[in-house]
A and B are shown apart, each in its own frame.
Chain A
């Protein structure tokens, strides 16, 4: 336990040192930050949107934004929290744009896709269906669930990333689990 905590503190210190080096004009410090976080950001976004090209685009945009604004980073939160917040905000924008685009699909096409999706869903394995169920959760609940279960972040940090209070993060998480539980029970009884 102690070693994990020490490791975490070391990571935070390392990040801050890299940020300071970048602020002093050392471009290689930025590269190091990208290399140490690119996979985590990419896979976090991939888990949320389920599309590898989109995830790569968002990961890129996240680091471009970091590059542009790193001088404004004051270290009030950890670098990781700040980075996750940028990534999550860009992901939210992406999802909103996607919803808008999907709305513009011709109605027949949308219906056809929905029918296809339903048939596909019936044919899929339960875990695949569960993944679909997760993707159908309201955005805030889904993001909170992913940050909690896969990133194993404490509620306090989730609140900082998502905006809002620790209590609200907890509520969103409990709601997400509850919604999944109801749908999971239905799935189980259907099989």
Chain B
């Protein structure tokens, strides 16, 4: 495991959210890297200091006064529970049944609105793709991390990405992990040959994984329906052929 990857796992390790496989790999790395061990110790100290921070001092401990005050306020302000939508409108249904023409017209209008809404949403969602042509290869890689298969493709994140400078994107996505499966995290910088941007394929550097782990990743990607996940040999390292980018960036 490399230092950059080790740093990404540290917090999860402290929160005991890391899988046994990654825990083991991180432990091995920490034993051999004093810098990372130092960072890990500092982070752990910080985490537990924050967790152990006492609550601000209060004059009197809380008893049951909240309930008393809530009841008092409800009475004083004459607050009533708002009826649910059903109790507000549900009683009108029998009268609609007695007026079939009104009921029929309402139904047609409602169905029309629903179908119109679905068609609008469909055309909107089909037509909207994220244009990555202005981004550098590094930024495309960051974008790829942001819209990874594990996370939902999210307009908020894309919009955020769009509004950030390359430096901000870099610091933003440094905190993210691309999880393929809980046990395996592909967060290495993918090698992206320029020719492959147009063809829409990514290569992921897997040189840090053992052959068994690569097999496992391939199996998991195959299970997820990734097209043609096969290991490639290029430039001395094993790489993984992933899905066309279009399939991931379409919203």
Contact = CB atoms under 8 A, between A and B. Distances in A.
Interface of A: 22-23, 31, 34-35, 38-39, 41-43, 46-47, 50-52, 56, 59-60, 63-64, 67-72, 126-127, 130-131, 134, 145, 149-150, 164-168, 170-171, 174-175, 177-178, 180-181, 184-185
A46 B58 contact: yes
Interface string B217-234: 000000000000000000
B66 A64 contact: no
Contacts of B172: 171, 175
Nearest to A38: B66
Interface string B32-70: 000000000011001101111111101100101111011
A149 B176 CA distance: 19
Interface of B: 11, 42-43, 46-47, 49-56, 58-59, 62, 64-67, 69-71, 73-74, 77, 79-85, 87, 146, 151-152, 154, 156-157, 172, 175-176
B104 to A, nearest CB: 29
B151 A72 contact: no
A22 B52 CA distance: 37
Contact of A72 (B50, B58, B85, B154): B85
A133 B62 CA distance: 26
B20 to A, nearest CB: 15
A56 B46 contact: no
Contacts of A180: 46, 50
A56 B69 contact: yes
16 contacts: A22-B81, A34-B70, A35-B64, A38-B62, A38-B66, A38-B67, A46-B58, A51-B56, A60-B66, A69-B82, A70-B81, A127-B53, A130-B49, A131-B56, A171-B172, A185-B42
